[in-house]
Amino acid sequence: MPDFIYLASQSPRRRQLLEQLGVRHELLLPNVEGDEAEDAEAIEVVLPGEAPTAYVERVTALKLDAAVARRARRQLPDAPILCSDTTVALGRTIYGKPDDAAHAARMLAELAGREHQVLTAVALQAEGQRLAALSVSRVRFGTMTPAQIAAYVASGEPLGKAGAYGIQGPVAQYVENLDGSYTGIMGLPLFETAGLLRAAGVLG
């Protein structure tokens, strides 16, 4: 077994969390141009009537499929490949990454004062075996005034994040209650991830 894994994610938070586990890793990211160009955004399109759990598990599996093919195409050394995807859900409504600042503000206004779910799926491909896990957490935001939402959106942090927020940033001041995995809300649930890595022989 190699002494490293591939992380198929552009999220710096996932890198930091893997480092917290002491797992050596290399990034395995899609090319956005050239012969190898991959349309990563197409994978994240929600299917009609799709439930949040089914969505996040399907997207994670598709991202892992793409990463496995990418490693083979680039003729890189064989090593376990880790993928993860996070989505925010209010009931059956899925909140992905906002399109722009106005979209982010609308999302936050809908989440303010209410409880929502944060679902993070993790998948690991190792020696022909695929392992998967799901972390589901509940987060309740207190009320947020339009001015508070505008100030947070102006910081730029909501862009590129599911549900238009990062739990580790300034929005934490509005988190009234959190039930579940803090690292899962960040994007990589360490308890579940460590379990997969142990099953694959990467962690002791």
Active site residues: 85
What is d(CA 99, CA 135) in angstroms, rounded to the nearest whole number? Answer: 25
Q: Where are the beta strands (DSSP E) in 38-128?
A: 81-90, 93-95, 115-126
Length of the chain: 204
Q: Where are the beta strands (DSSP E) in the chain?
A: 5-7, 25-27, 81-90, 93-95, 115-126, 129-141, 175-179
Do 85 and 59 meet the contact criterion of CB atoms below 8 Å apart? yes
Which residues make beta-bridge pairs with 117?
A: 89, 138
> In this structure, which amino acid lies at residue 153?
V
Residues 6+ apart with CB under 8 A from 132: 57, 60, 61, 121, 122, 123, 124, 196
What is d(CA 26, CA 120) in angstroms, rounded to the nearest whole number? Answer: 21
What is d(CA 94, CA 84) in angstroms, rounded to the nearest whole number? Answer: 17
